[in-house]
Structure formats: structure tokens, C-alpha cells
Amino acid sequence: MTRLRRWLAVTLLLLFPISAAAQTPVDGDFAALVGALPDASFAEVEALVGRIAATNDDRAIDVLEALAEGDLHTLDSNAAVVIVRDVGGDDHAFDALTGESYGEIPRRGSSAIRVNNSLRRAVAAAVGTLTLRHPDPARRLEAAQAAFDAPDPAQADALAAALDAEQDAAVRQALSEAVARAVLQDDAATVPDRRAAIDVIAARRDGVALGVLTPLVQSPDTEIAEAAGAAVERIERARQMWNMAQNVWFGLSLGSVLLLAAIGLAITFGVMGVINMAHGELVMLGAYTTFFVQNIIRTSFPGLFDWSLLIAAPLAFLVAGAVGVAIERGCVRFLYGRPLETLLATWGVSLILQQTVRSIFGPNNREVGNPSWMSGAFEIGQMTITYNRLWILVFALAVFAVLLIVMRRTPIGLQMRAVTQNRAMAANMGIRTGWVDAMTFGLGAGIAGLAGVALSQIDNVSPNLGQSYIVDSFMVVVFGGAGNLWGTLAGAFSIGIANKFLEPYAGAVLAKIVVLVAIILFIQKRPRGLFAVKGRAVDA
């Protein structure tokens, strides 16, 4: 690397010796250089700009930027070079060298130093070079990136010099890339230099690098073309990897949503054998609970907004759970052992719940806000991860884990499993089966409510919210194998990932159709799902 840099520096210096040898005024005399501006021709001004920049004077950036903007004037009264700034709507003049204010000046009291486009470019380049030495690393990084985005061979030596002086690693990186791009832009650069530059750019491994290098594949120089070709291929491979990683992430994210929607169903359908078509509406109730809580917080306790989801979650669990218990006691318990009838009755319940919510809250989408910790995104390599999706994944897994513990490790879980396996025996042992049924159903419903809290963050909260998940969540449970929570987990994530991997090829809708058809075919092959409960008892 050091050799490369020396190479670059030396060659660039040889190729672009600092132009226009100084006459008057003397190099390094900032005041004199600025003073020479008003009377110089465009060509001379351009030379002066380079020399002003070369002084590295603190005032240089201000002066040059004002020049490019047409705000650098000479006062008619005393011929002083001033920067004209807008102060409260009036033009005020400030001395370019001392910063001293001349106060408000009349409109015709000064004349601007004229600039043309070529001059503006020269100023921009000079300012860029100057900013490269700014004390703030963030500004230097910005300048380096700006230099990368607008490559100019003429700037290459300045960049290389800045690179040599630079201490900050991130800025060094950006600078070396800017140098490399400037070299590539320069038709006169030597082949080894350009190859080295290709390597530097290729190391970025992103779309920008691809954009820079792809045209070079057509380069008349075979060596360059080959090097660029190889680099492009490497980058493409890396991008494919990142793409895949991004798809996996999207898939996991969709999977977590499916898991949330389906996991309550895995309890009611999988464990109890009850087809609860109102499950989606329980999710919807959870989402509306969130809306309701946020509304109260917005009007009465705005400071608590970031806590709204944490407050809504237990409430949603209770609301949906209570409605679930009511459904079980009022309707489902008359229909045990008749799954198809349960399906119809709970469908009726779902219609009533939907219409009730529609009557109370109206048919339109309701606004549910993201708390600050759920907004925004961060990047890993070339993939973007939004915080809300990340939290939902975490939340889904947490709910799953808690549910698993409840089912496996707590007395109520034990009773639930006992009633499922042998109702009569459980009743004989003193378990109140009716109460356990209600609690199991309530648990499934409560989890649907929790799902609603999460889904309110990424989906429209409307009375139809539940309907859009019902087919999907049944698919997850059936695919994973009823009665097996791990199956539901695996089912949700594999359906999510399959969907997202198909989407780039087939489009969102077609991908969904393909996944549905695949599941239908899968059910033919394994009618009891991925993790079926096997054994002789199954179809006895």
C-alpha cells in the first residue's frame, strides 16, 4: 500500500506540476492573493484560486466559497475585497481578510468578482482539497467522498498528499478510493497504477464499485479489461452473498410475523384441535388495543409515548384473552369433537368481532405510531435492517420461548397437556377440564393479541387486519404439523424464507401463490405436516 501511494504521489506530481508559475504576488501571501482577485482575468483568477488554496489559510474556504457563489465583492468606496452575506434580509459586507463588518451596503455600492463555470469547478476542486485538511474528521470524510463521487484527475495529487498526511482510518480509506478513482479517470495513468487502483475500488464490493469498474471491462487495454473483469466478477459474487443474506433477513422477518400470527393458533388448533377462524380477529383486537393505548398516551401523557407498546402488550393479551375465554365458554365448548362445526361457529364470531370494531372505530385504517426505538434502520455490510422488523423478530422468539416454558414447565401447562391427551382421565384426577379448556383457549387468544401489538407496527390497523393473516397462519400450523410448537416455528420461518427467495424471480403475488401451491402439494405427501406426531395412535 505504501508503495502504491508513493507511486501515485510521484506520478501525479510529475504529470500535473502546479501550473501557472507565480509572478506577483508571492505564494503563501494570502492577503496579497485575495487582493489580486478583482483585477484578474478568468484564467488568472483560476490560477489564483489554486494558489489561495495552497496557502492552507483558515480563511481560504470562506473566501473561495463566496467567490463561487458570486458573493465575493469589491466595495466601490474603498476597493476592499468583502464577502457579502444576507443578514435579516439586508446585504451586509464583511472584510474577506479580517472578517470586520462594514455594515449594510447599498445595492449598487459594490461589484461582484465575476465567475464562470470553469472557475466554479476550479473553486469546488480547491475547496474540496482544502476541506481535506479540515480539522474535523467528519468534514474530511465528506470531502473525500465528494472527491470520489466527482473524480477529477487534476485533483489526484492533492488527494494523494492529503492521504499521506491523514491519520483517521475511515478517512484514509475514503481518500485512497478517491485517489484510485481519479487515477482510473486519467487516461494518461500507467497500467500498473490503474491495476492497483482497480484493486482499491474492488475492495468496496458494492454497487458503486461495480458502477466504476464495469465500464473498464470494455477497456482497450486487455490487462486492464481482465483485471476489471475479474474484479467485477468478485464483486458480483459478494453482492449475491449479501443479496442472499438480505433475502434471508426478509424471510426471517416475514417468518417472525407468520410465527406471531400462527403461534396462538398452534395452541387452539394444534393442542386443542379447535379450528378458531376468529383467530385473525383476536390479532386485530390486539392491534386496536395498541391504537387505543397510544391514543390515550398522545392526548394525556405524551412523555410516555416510547413506552406505549410495553403498556399495550399486557393489555392486548388481557383483552384478546378475555374475548377468547368468552368465545370458548359461549360457543366452542358446545362443539368439542366436531371440528368442522367449530370452524363455522368461530367464523360467525369473527364476522361479529370485525363488524363491532368497524362500528366503534370506523372502517378506515388507524394510525399507530412507532416509538423512537422502533424507527430507523442500521446497516450490516450491504444489507439494511430496520429496527421495527428486528424487534418484531426478537418479540416473536421471546413469545415462542415463554409459551414453550409455560407448556412444558408450569402446572397449568401440564394440566393443558393432560386434558388434551385424555380428558376423562384428567377429570378423574380432579382437573377442572372446563376451566383448563377456557384457559388454554384464552392463552391462544391472548397470544394472538400480543401478535396484534407487533403487527400494528408494520401493517395497516383496520377491521380487516385479521382476515389477511388467517389463511397464512393456518398454512403455517398445518405445514409445521399440528400439535407441535417447534413445527410451527420451523413452518413459519421456512414459509417466510421461501416466499422471500421466490419474490425476486416471481414477484410478490406469484411467489405467494407458488408457496401456497407448494404447501398444498406438501400436505398430500405428508398429511400431518412437517413434524407430525407419529405412531399408531394417530389414525386410530
Binding stretches for another protein (CB under 8 A) = 275, 277, 331, 334-335, 339-345, 347-352, 354-356, 358-359, 467, 470-471, 474-475, 478, 509-510, 512-513, 516-517, 519-521, 523-525, 527, 534-536, 539
Alpha-helical regions (H) of 166-221: 169-185, 191-202, 207-213
In the complex, minimum distance from the CB of residue 281 to another protein, in angstroms, rounded to a whole number: 10
User: In one letter, which amino acid is 127?
Assistant: V
Nearer Cβ to another protein (159/470): 470
Query: Cα 90 to chain center, whole Å?
Result: 43
Nearer Cβ to another protein (99/348): 348
Instruction: Show the cell assigned to 312.
Output: 399495550
In the complex, minimum distance from the CB of residue 471 to another protein, in angstroms, rounded to a whole number: 5
Q: What residues contact residue 11 under an 8 Å CB cut-off, 6+ apart?
A: 189, 190, 193
Nearer Cβ to another protein (474/493): 474
Beta bridge partners of 93: 84, 103
The closest of 188, 186, 195, 192 to 159, measured between CA atoms, is 186
Nearer Cβ to another protein (139/358): 358
Nearer Cβ to another protein (298/333): 333
Nearer Cβ to another protein (165/351): 351
In the complex, minimum distance from the CB of residue 366 to another protein, in angstroms, rounded to a whole number: 19
Nearer Cβ to another protein (20/517): 517
Nearer Cβ to another protein (136/539): 539
The closest of 320, 317, 322 to 406, measured between CA atoms, is 317
Distance CA 72, CA 66 (A): 5
Nearer Cβ to another protein (178/470): 470
In the complex, minimum distance from the CB of residue 243 to another protein, in angstroms, rounded to a whole number: 24
In the complex, minimum distance from the CB of residue 282 to another protein, in angstroms, rounded to a whole number: 15
In the complex, minimum distance from the CB of residue 459 to another protein, in angstroms, rounded to a whole number: 17
The closest of 314, 353, 318, 349 to 335, measured between CA atoms, is 349
Beta bridge partners of 94: 83, 101
The answer to whether the peptide bond before residue 25 is cis (omega within 30 degrees of 0) is: yes
In the complex, minimum distance from the CB of residue 160 to another protein, in angstroms, rounded to a whole number: 54
In the complex, minimum distance from the CB of residue 330 to another protein, in angstroms, rounded to a whole number: 8
Distance CA 452, CA 465 (A): 9
In the complex, minimum distance from the CB of residue 333 to another protein, in angstroms, rounded to a whole number: 10
Beta bridge partners of 112: 73
In the complex, minimum distance from the CB of residue 249 to another protein, in angstroms, rounded to a whole number: 24
- Asked if residue 126 lies in contact with residue 63, where contact means CB atoms within 8 angstroms, the answer is no
Question: What DSSP line would sit under 112-159, residue for residue?
Answer: EPP--HHHHHHHHHHHHHHHTT-SSHHHHHHHHHHHHHS--GGGHHHH
Nearer Cβ to another protein (125/357): 357
Residue with cell 393479551: 317
- Give the C-alpha distances (Å, rounded to integers) separating 264 from 280, 319, 473, 486: 10, 14, 9, 13
In the complex, minimum distance from the CB of residue 481 to another protein, in angstroms, rounded to a whole number: 11
- Asked if residue 195 lies in contact with residue 223, where contact means CB atoms within 8 angstroms, the answer is yes
Nearer Cβ to another protein (122/327): 327
What are phi and psi for residue 72, nearest 5 degrees? -90, 115
Question: What DSSP line would sit under 476-537, residue for residue?
Answer: HHHHH-TT-HHHHHHHHHHHHHHHHHHHHHH-HHHHHHHHHHHHHHHHHH-TT-TT---STT
Nearer Cβ to another protein (405/517): 517
Give the three-state DSSP class for 205.
Answer: coil
In the complex, minimum distance from the CB of residue 416 to another protein, in angstroms, rounded to a whole number: 20
In the complex, minimum distance from the CB of residue 320 to another protein, in angstroms, rounded to a whole number: 18
- Give the C-alpha distances (Å, rounded to integers) separating 65 from 130, 215, 326: 11, 34, 72
Nearer Cβ to another protein (138/520): 520
